[in-house]
Amino acid sequence: MPHENVTVVRRFMRRFLEQDIDGALADVHPDAELDWSNSDAPDSGLYSGHSAWRAFVSARDEVLAGRGFEFAELVASGPDEVVLVGRMRERGRTSGIEVQAQGSAVFTLREGKIARLKLYRTSEQALKAVGLTP
């Protein structure tokens, strides 16, 4: 199952980066939680369910022109978790200023779909959360 989970997360991220929210949500459980509470961004918070995830992405798309993500690591942890480490790049729609953030996320999967995505500020925090580091 870990290999399949990595495949699901890769597909989700590809569709998210292509701004294909419907395609991305196809890999998200209907009652999934998006925990963005560790972010310094104005949209920091918890989002539950497809409609909340869609609203989160739509709000970001209103102020940001495009997005990019550089994968550093994608690690399966146990039967149902995947750790994503990398750098997100986004550009302000009005200002044109590029914003970059190093970050990590833990994806928890259930029934082959993403049931939870939790953002972490560092890879160390994310790896510790899943028990891969002390």
Residue 42: helix, strand or coil by DSSP? coil
For the chain, which domains are there? 2-128 (3.10.450.50)
Q: Where are the alpha helices (DSSP H) in 18-122?
A: 21-25, 50-63
Cα distance between residue 27 and residue 25, in whole Å: 5
Buried-exposed string 19-43: b where 16+ CB fall within 10 A, e elsewhere? eebeebbebbbeebbbbbebeeeee
What is the pairing mode between strands 113-120 and 28-35? parallel
| Confidence band, pLDDT 50/70/90 cuts, at residue 101 | confident
Q: Report the predicted TM-score, pTM, of the whole model to 2 decimal places.
A: 0.91
Cα distance between residue 36 and residue 11, in whole Å: 20
List, for residues 50-86, the tens digit of each pLDDT value.
999 999 998 888 888 877 888 888 999 989 999 999 9
List, for residues 106-120, the tens digit of each pLDDT value.
999 999 999 999 999
